[in-house]
Chain A
Amino acid sequence: MNTLTEERTSAQGRGRFRSAARRTPGRPSIVCGAALLLALAGAAVLGPLLWPYDHVAQDRTAMLVPPGGEHWLGTSRLGEDLLAQCLQGLRKSLVIGLLVAVLSTTLSAAVGLAAGYLGRWVDRCLMWGVDMLLILPPFLVAAVLSPLLRERSWLYMVLVLALFQWMLTARVVRARTVALRQREFVTAAHHMGAPTLWIMRRHLLPHLVPLLVIDCTLHVGAAILGEAGLSYFGFGIQPPDVSLGTLVATGSGSALTYPWAFLAPVGFLVVTVSAVGLLGEGLRRALEEGRGGSNED
Chain B
Amino acid sequence: MTSLSPPRAAGVRAVAAPSGPPAGAAGRLLRRLAWRLGLCLAATFTAYVLASISFDPLAELRGQQPPPPQAVIDAQAQRLGLDDPVPQRFLGWLAGVPHGDFGETVTGQEIGDELWRRCGTSVRLFLAGSLLAIVLGVAIGLWNALRDGRPSDRMSLFASLIILAVPVFVLGTVLKMLWLPLNEAAGTQLLYFSAETTPGADHTGWAAIGDRLRHLALPTLAIALPQAAFYSRYQRAAMLDVLGSDFLRAARAKGLRHRQAVLRHGVRIALIPMVTLFAFTFGLHLTGGVFTERVFGWNGMGDWLLRGIQDEDANIVASVTLFIAVLVVLAGMLADGVLALLDPRIRRAGP
A interface residue numbers (CB < 8 A to B): 128, 131-132, 134-141, 143-148, 168, 171-176, 178-179, 211, 214-215, 221, 225, 228-229, 232-233, 235, 248, 252, 255-256, 259, 262, 266, 269-274, 276-278, 281, 284, 287-288, 291, 293, 295, 297
Contact = CB atoms under 8 A, between A and B. Distances in A.
B192 to A, nearest CB: 14
Main secondary structure of the interface of B (DSSP, over half): helix
Contacts of A128: 39
B286 A232 contact: no
B164 interface: yes
Given A140-B321, A171-B12, A229 B4 contact: no
18 contacts: A131-B39, A132-B42, A135-B39, A135-B43, A136-B47, A139-B290, A140-B305, A140-B324, A144-B55, A148-B54, A174-B11, A211-B4, A266-B170, A269-B167, A271-B165, A281-B161, A293-B3, A293-B244
A256 B177 contact: yes
A208 to B, nearest CB: 12
Interface residues of B, number: 61
Main secondary structure of the interface of A (DSSP, over half): helix
A93 to B, nearest CB: 12
B46 A295 contact: no
A117 B323 CA distance: 35
Interface string B1-35: 11111011011111100000000000000000000
A147 B58 CA distance: 13
B19 to A, nearest CB: 9
A233 B294 contact: yes
Nearest to B325: A135
Interface in B296-328: 305-306, 309, 312, 317, 320-321, 324-325, 328
Given A229-B287, A266-B170, A135 B162 contact: no
Residue of B2, B8, B11, B305 contacting most chain A CB atoms (<10 Å): B11
Given A140-B317, A141-B50, A145-B50, 16 more contacts: A135-B328, A137-B290, A176-B1, A176-B11, A221-B164, A229-B287, A235-B309, A248-B169, A255-B177, A256-B177, A266-B166, A266-B174, A274-B161, A277-B164, A284-B4, A295-B2
A135 B306 CA distance: 18
Contacts of B180: 256
B47 to A, nearest CB: 6
B109 to A, nearest CB: 20
B287 A172 contact: no
B116 to A, nearest CB: 21
Contacts of A144: 47, 50-51, 54-55, 309, 317
A214 B161 contact: no
Contacts of B309: 143-144, 146-147, 235
B59 to A, nearest CB: 8
A234 B54 CA distance: 16
Interface in B54-91: 54-56
A259 B321 CA distance: 35
Nearest to A178: B14
Residue of B50, B161, B306 contacting most chain A CB atoms (<10 Å): B161
